[in-house]
Structure 1
């Protein structure tokens, strides 16, 4: 930590962001106290504050006092502060695992290679899957081999089976890539994802919101959409078109319903159908194999009660399965009008 002579000009901390001010205070507190505070942060918050600390210009004593006063802390004096990456690493030592500290330090110290792949691992899996479908399979395999395994698994679940299997074979036989070629790939990925990251997030907002609303109970869903329609009618209309609930299963083709319920355990079907009206129940029963239908009919006839939470959860799991199958192209949630069953 470097001590600089106090600035002669009047302190001006208005230009500092809130994150930068947090970084100043942590550095002023020292390792022990700041370590206690950092334990309350999640990994993303630590990364943001660490980056802000590494970019700090020297802070004079009057400026530090002004920041302390703003945070309403009981400080009266402090050193002028700037920080090196080494000092930041010492600050985090003992607070975070060594591997996590290494990742943070490599990013703030300008290790662009690791930073790019680290950040891409947090890009929406649907966006990354669509991106890879447009790339040469060998390039797609290389990209998947560089991102985090959890990210690669999620992305692969969005790819058609034949493409997924082909990429896995290519990943198993990947050879070392020359540095120049890897640099080109990393630069391209940086431009396509990092520079346009906010745009990608915006494009993914509606699917994420639809997924959240889909998991609400029916009454909460309708209330949320009604409230949204009052302030943002176009957004509400877009979201309505993306929603799919348990009740919407009746609008699927018989084949789609059969494909869904072939993968649902009998006890879950029984729970999901409790409390459903007779017409809806009959439509679902007609989608089951003969033996499964007899078992479900028998269980429903026994009239063993299930609480509301169990019923909602069973229906939600079936709805999530339908959405996953639609995402893989196995069923169509919006069949052509002439193919839709009539349900009154």
Structure 2
């Protein structure tokens, strides 16, 4: 989290965030005079930015208003709250107008982070809160949308779920300023980590696509990426699962896989394979079916390349499907990794 805070302090302020920071630096009188010239929509946009503002360093202020540094960077780091918004607005708006704007601002400030978290996959939220203190987990699940919280609960171990539910029943109201700090902390720790993991998710999605391609097309794509984006190509190669990888699966996984593959598909898929690979596969098949397959391979006619590739694709797709359901383990290694 400290690293995230350092990056936040070093980055340049942009757009409405810069305007919000400048208004906060000016102070109430000058900010009030300037905001009289804003339209209603501009007021809402800027005041939302002030309410959501995280800590802004003097270095950021200097970068944003270099020509006026002596006027705007005399103070310490600043942070905005809904209370700051209300104080500024009260200098030039009537109480009724302040109330109207604040209702909109508070709605955005109080719910935006939780709405964003509610839109994240429940498995990702569950993985996050499992690493946090149970009280933090209870707070998060009490703030996100009920439908989201219910789905997240389904991903938690029973003892964790029961403990979090008990804590949710005793969650007490939190002081506004403290909640504001908590929300920003969660934003940095959770949402920014999520953004950093987006690249990994992208590679996973692309790997899923490449896994569905024909072997020749797969090789061409990877060769092209190796030339233009070598690091991405290496990551993708580590995520791919091909027919050749089946030989290295745990024995139990291979047995469960080939129990669901028709014998004629196995015969076609093994056409043209080397003896070592063929033996690794045949060891996972019952003796009766193995004898039949061996006879077909010894006396059968050569098969069209397309039929062989389709059979191998069928087996590979089945392995990926079974692994996605948790029925087999497609990682190479010992049998104790098997999930039954």
TM-score bin, normalised by smaller chain: 0.3 to 0.5
TM-score, with length taken from structure 1:
0.47
Name the one with the larger helix percent: 2
TM-score, with length taken from structure 2:
0.48
